[in-house]
Amino acid sequence: MSSTDVETVHTGADKAKLLLSVVLFVGAFAAFFSLKSQGSLAQWGALVVGIALAVVSFLTADAGRRLVAFGKDSAREVRKVVWPARKEATQMTAYVFAFVLVMALFLWLTDKTLQWVFFDLILGWR
């Protein structure tokens, strides 16, 4: 793997935005617990505002923009998927259940046969 395959934060501004995001996120939770005496409205307000600021700070960084672009590309790819019809999905599910049942029966018979061969015929323990 070459060094061009590794994605890192390159600029100081992006590093600062990511650090600010982490500080705001941790600060939001610290404010939530430290404002316990101020009432639940102040607690939840500080938490929501802090997390919202952290998200905005993250989304303005290069990593946030790449994350949004990845989400858009993923949604576009999901829209391209041809989903099976109900009948086809039901048939495939029935095939899977039938296969699992046949395999379970086969493995059980194999286990009992080997048990009979080893313990009854070879060792004579029963």
Q: How far is residue 31's CA from residue 49's CA, in Å, rounded to a whole number?
A: 10
Which two three-digit tokens encode residue 15? 């590093």
What is the reported pTM?
0.57
pLDDT digits (tens, 9 = 90+) for 87-117: 999 999 999 999 999 999 999 999 999 999 9
CA dist 22 and 54 (Å) reads 7
Domain boundaries along the sequence of the chain: 1-81, 85-126
CA separation for the pair 14, 16 (Å, rounded): 5
What pLDDT digit, counting tens, does each position of 50-74 carry?
999 999 999 999 989 999 999 999 9
Q: Token pair of 125, please?
A: 């323990």
Whose CA is closest to 32, among 54, 6, 51, 57? Answer: 51
**Predicted local distance difference test score (pLDDT) of residue 65:** 93
- Give the tens place of pLDDT for each residue, 26-53: 999 999 999 999 999 999 999 999 999 9
Do 11 and 48 touch, CB atoms closer than 8 A? no
